[in-house]
Amino acid sequence: MGLSVVVGCSLAYISLLFLIAWWVDKRATELRPGIVSSPYVYALSLAVYCTAWTFFGSVGRATTGGLSFLGVYLGPTLLAPLWFMLLRKIILISKNQRITSIADFISARYGKSTNIGVMVTLIAVLGIVPYISIQLKAVTFGINTLTHFGEAAPAPKPHFWQDAAFWVTLAMALFTVVFGTRKLDPNERHEGLVAAIAFESIVKLIAFIMVGAFVTFGLYNGFDDLFGKALQQEETARMFTFSGSGITPFSWNMLMLLSLFAIILLPRQFHISVVENTHPRQITKAMWVFPLYLLLINIFVLPVAMAGKMAFGDTVHPDTYVLSIPLSQGANWLALIAFIGGFSAATSMVVVEATALSIMFSNHVVVPLLIKTRLFGQGKDMVDGASRLLDIRRICIMLMLFLAYLYQKSVGSTYDLVSVGLISFTAAAQLAPSLIGGIYWKRGTRQGAITGLAIGFLFWAYCLPLPSMAQAGIISDDFVKNGLFGLSFLKPYSLFGLSGLDPITHAAFWSLLFNAWFYSIVSINSKPSMLNLTQADLFVNIGKYIGRQDSDILKREAKVSELRNMLNRFLGEQRTIAMFQEYESLNQVKLGQQQLAQADLVNFAETHLAGAVGAASARLVLDSVVKEEAITMDEVMRILEQTREAVEHGRLMEAKNAELKKLTLQLTTANDQLKNLDRLKADFITTVTHELRTPVTSIKSLSKIILDYSDELDDHRKQEYLRILVMESDRISRLINQVLDIEKIQSNEAPLNFETVNLSDLVRQAARGMEQMFAEKQVTIRLHGTDKSNNLRADRDRLMQVIVNLLSNALKFCNPEDGQIDVELEQASDKMLLRVRDNGPGIPPTMQQLIFEKFTQLHSQTQGKPHGTGLGLFITKSIVEKHGGSIRVESYSVAVPQGAMFEVRLPL
């Protein structure tokens, strides 16, 4: 087959890709629903995972390792159920933070650290270079196989311009530059690219299945026939089992683990699955469509490998079976289709990988360097816009492909495709502890990530690429044979004496072990910075941040004009204006009237800028114009505890509510009491008026008699009536006085006038004042305990009223024949006791509580009709209680068999 045919077909195919990308991009600018938002396109674009490695290398691998090649595809399939948690979380975080690459993601997690960004970029670039190199190699030998099949291998050319691989590299580099860096998108979204990749996935799947079907059903009569024959030959029967192919359980586990990580951590996988993702809901469909794709593309790998082995033995390199079997059968058209399939697998990988790596390299290595030199030096326009960024990326792509070319020329040629590819997988896996720890473990710190990454990378480099370079003769292979410095435990293929593992498993084991261990142990023993803390919270608890701007996390302000100038420089004038307009309409503000940009505008600018240059660079750029207010630990803690505060606030509200209920209850009770009092007052007034009416009626009738019968009445009669009139008037005035007294005592209008009072004096005084009345009734009064002074603090007049009341009560009720009243004073430890005892009829127990109520009167047996107003004892009780004392009555009891005894207790 002529070279021109092969090159012509390749160019035609590439043109088709451009057409697709152009068409999709055009649709996107017309704002029509993008086909890229389809979950099927998403799943197909994820199949960028299947590269020339899958297309050519798996077959080669199967000839030596049997079915072990499946581990590379079963790992991602196993992880697929977890995408719903893991990948979705990563996507949500990335959308929130405008993450543009895996380096950006990890650096953003650990406080937007520039150092981590650089480290991850270097690991990714150096680690992936072998991977890119195998794509170049596959395309090169694909062309060689097609054009020189059946001839002796061409002799090595002395000059690079005679080398096919060089031209392949150049063509790939140009293709990638033109395809991957057509425009600068703020979100690094390339719809046209994704659509083209999805298309390529279909091409390579169909091409491979065609070859597989041709082999299985064309050369053989189906699977039975092929496998049956394979079982007959020792070389192919070996491929039936793991044990026969020399695959140990541990290497199988490690292979699955590495590929399980690779599906997330390879820069191109991260780019396609996270950065190019249009909506998280695409994941659910991709979760089974993508594994299904992997299954389909792998069905024919083993049959093709067996058929090739049976057909060629060791005469043809197994990595080329996919091409050489159709060629050997004269089916050149199928070989060409197979080549296009392999070519599409290689181009899709190189384009996406190189684009993703160039984004990383420009955002995390070049731009920070430029910003720093600009800050430190005097230069003004080192970075002046979008076109510069694109130029930087183009140079990055060229450099990376050139590196891959060098690697392939010097090292890659001695190894088969899969062995080289697995070196890259092991490198990518070094990002696993920092990334997975970063989104599930808040305690992971920048220092931990740096240490883990560095140590993991060193172990990887020492155990995989360095020995391979030594074996290729680039560096001395002394350390491979005898260990570094002649120390045998430092042999790179059996480090610390661990032998019996294949190099990949060996390197992956040591590097991941030390990586994860140092990441955890250093994280635990280091203190995260404020930014590290807030970012950690955001990444781990992304759920609580979704849907709100995290503007309150950092308090920053800048001059609007400076911010605008800076954005102009990086985003270009048009996009800056568009961005400001978006902000104005979102927040309903006019930026023209503002001098200072508040924190939310600064954050808005930062996220937009992060879309262009990555989080770490965006932060560096903003630092040059932004004043950052010191953010205190308290504030950070406040932010972190917002959720808890909300919960506590809810609890507080509940407590308030309960309190309110309690208050309402109290109010209701108080209201009831007030109503009750009101009723009592009304009762009182009724009783008082009734009491007043009785004497008034008798006064009125007696006065009328005197007036009408003044002449007929004798003097004696008149005297009698007038005496009654005076008596009844007295009664009225007494009643009125007492009502006024009650009013005064109860309303607190006349506060008690406390002074030191000698109770003995008071009792003697009262007895002396009533001597006349006692004498009239022939009542004897005896005083006990009044010979010594009994001082206490009280209102003298009120206390006198109490004594007089009690004495007149006793006088009223005592025995009319032989009246006796005993007054006794006794001082107890903290109170004074005043007892007044009479020898009257006593008070029946049923009445003993009632007599202290208002208007309760006792009918004395002797006098029949009640005396007094019925208020005396009530007033007495009120006064005593105002003094903090108490009053009680005793009668009809063992101690007081006759009469009644009132006892007043007053505090000293």
In the block, tokens 């597989």 appear at 212
Report the Cα 687 to chain-centroid distance in Å. 73
**252 is a site residue for another protein (CB under 8 A):** yes
Among 241, 373, 482, 668, binds another protein (CB under 8 A): 241
Among 80, 274, 616, 823, binds another protein (CB under 8 A): 80
**697 is a site residue for another protein (CB under 8 A):** no
CB of 72 to another protein, least distance (A): 13
CB of 224 to another protein, least distance (A): 4
**489 is a site residue for another protein (CB under 8 A):** no
Report the Cα 553 to chain-centroid distance in Å. 13
DSSP state of 901: E
CB of 85 to another protein, least distance (A): 6
At a CB cut-off of 8 Å and minimum separation 6, what does 501 contact? 248, 250, 251, 509
395-404 per-residue burial string, b: 16 or more CB within 10 A, e: under 16: ebbbbbbebb
Q: Which is nearer to another protein, 22 or 240 (CB)?
A: 240
Helix (H, G, I), strand (E, B) or coil at 472: coil
Q: Which is nearer to another protein, 64 or 603 (CB)?
A: 64
In the block, tokens 């009669």 appear at 717
Q: Which is nearer to another protein, 213 or 702 (CB)?
A: 213
In the block, tokens 């088969």 appear at 416
- Contact indicator for 801, 889 with CB cutoff of 8 Å: no
81's tokens: 């159920």
CB of 45 to another protein, least distance (A): 18
CB of 483 to another protein, least distance (A): 31
**35 is a site residue for another protein (CB under 8 A):** no
Q: Which is nearer to another protein, 78 or 469 (CB)?
A: 78
DSSP state of 365: I
Q: Which is nearer to another protein, 87 or 390 (CB)?
A: 87
- Contact indicator for 875, 741 with CB cutoff of 8 Å: yes
Q: Which is nearer to another protein, 170 or 213 (CB)?
A: 213
Q: Which is nearer to another protein, 88 or 189 (CB)?
A: 88
CB of 318 to another protein, least distance (A): 18
C-alpha to C-alpha distance for 504 and 418, rounded to whole angstroms: 11
109's tokens: 């997690």
**242 is a site residue for another protein (CB under 8 A):** yes
**246 is a site residue for another protein (CB under 8 A):** no
- Contact indicator for 125, 357 with CB cutoff of 8 Å: yes
C-alpha to C-alpha distance for 559 and 624, rounded to whole angstroms: 11
Among 12, 224, 624, 884, binds another protein (CB under 8 A): 224
CB of 501 to another protein, least distance (A): 15
Q: Which is nearer to another protein, 41 or 427 (CB)?
A: 41
Among 228, 379, 650, 866, binds another protein (CB under 8 A): 228
CB of 50 to another protein, least distance (A): 15
Q: How far apart are the first and last CA of the chain?
A: 129
| Beta-strand relationship, 820-827 and 596-597 | unpaired
DSSP state of 438: H
Q: How far is CA 491 from CA 8, 464, 467, 507, 510, in A?
A: 49, 11, 9, 11, 13
C-alpha to C-alpha distance for 469 and 130, rounded to whole angstroms: 11
Q: Which is nearer to another protein, 243 or 753 (CB)?
A: 243
CB of 215 to another protein, least distance (A): 15
Contacts to another protein from residues 302-361, by CB under 8 A: 302
**209 is a site residue for another protein (CB under 8 A):** no
Among 13, 18, 167, 240, binds another protein (CB under 8 A): 240
**231 is a site residue for another protein (CB under 8 A):** yes
**243 is a site residue for another protein (CB under 8 A):** yes
The percent helix, strand, coil of the chain (3-state, each to 5) is 70, 5, 25
At a CB cut-off of 8 Å and minimum separation 6, what does 731 contact? 695, 869
**Closest alpha carbon to 48 in 181, 254, 190:** 190
Among 244, 246, 473, 845, binds another protein (CB under 8 A): 244
Name the segment binding another protein (CB under 8 A); options: 79-87, 317-325, 363-371, 691-699.
79-87
**Closest alpha carbon to 556 in 472, 458, 635:** 635
Helix (H, G, I), strand (E, B) or coil at 295: helix
Q: How far is CA 822 from CA 763, 783, 785, 860, 904, in A?
A: 12, 6, 11, 20, 14
- Contact indicator for 398, 102 with CB cutoff of 8 Å: no
Q: Which is nearer to another protein, 244 or 884 (CB)?
A: 244
CB of 27 to another protein, least distance (A): 27
C-alpha to C-alpha distance for 264 and 536, rounded to whole angstroms: 20
Among 174, 206, 237, 724, binds another protein (CB under 8 A): 237
In the block, tokens 């160019």 appear at 11
Residue 483's region, left for phi above 0, alpha for psi from -120 to 50, else beta, is left
C-alpha to C-alpha distance for 493 and 509, rounded to whole angstroms: 12
C-alpha to C-alpha distance for 848 and 899, rounded to whole angstroms: 13
DSSP state of 217: I
Q: Which is nearer to another protein, 144 or 236 (CB)?
A: 236
CB of 34 to another protein, least distance (A): 22
Contacts to another protein from residues 84-113, by CB under 8 A: 84-85
Residues in the chain: 908
Per-residue contact track with another protein, 268 to 307, x per CB under 8 A?
----------------xx-xx--xx--x---x--x-----
CB of 229 to another protein, least distance (A): 11
Among 28, 46, 48, 256, binds another protein (CB under 8 A): 256
CB of 289 to another protein, least distance (A): 9
CB of 282 to another protein, least distance (A): 12
Q: Which is nearer to another protein, 131 or 252 (CB)?
A: 252
Q: Which is nearer to another protein, 105 or 252 (CB)?
A: 252
**82 is a site residue for another protein (CB under 8 A):** yes
Q: What is the CA radius of gyration of the chain?
A: 53
Among 23, 167, 227, 684, binds another protein (CB under 8 A): 227
Name the segment binding another protein (CB under 8 A); options: 129-137, 238-246, 612-620, 752-760.
238-246
C-alpha to C-alpha distance for 193 and 343, rounded to whole angstroms: 16
315's tokens: 């005469």
CB of 67 to another protein, least distance (A): 6
Among 2, 33, 158, 249, binds another protein (CB under 8 A): 249
Q: Which is nearer to another protein, 544 or 700 (CB)?
A: 544
Among 22, 223, 312, 517, binds another protein (CB under 8 A): 223
Contacts to another protein from residues 39-78, by CB under 8 A: 66-67, 70, 74, 77-78
- Contact indicator for 321, 417 with CB cutoff of 8 Å: no
Total residues in contact with another protein, by rule CB under 8 A: 39
**217 is a site residue for another protein (CB under 8 A):** no
Among 17, 20, 59, 79, binds another protein (CB under 8 A): 79
In the block, tokens 């009408």 appear at 708
Q: Which residues bind another protein (CB under 8 A)?
A: 66-67, 70, 74, 77-82, 84-85, 222-224, 227-228, 230-231, 237, 239-244, 249, 252-253, 256, 284-285, 287-288, 291-292, 295, 299, 302
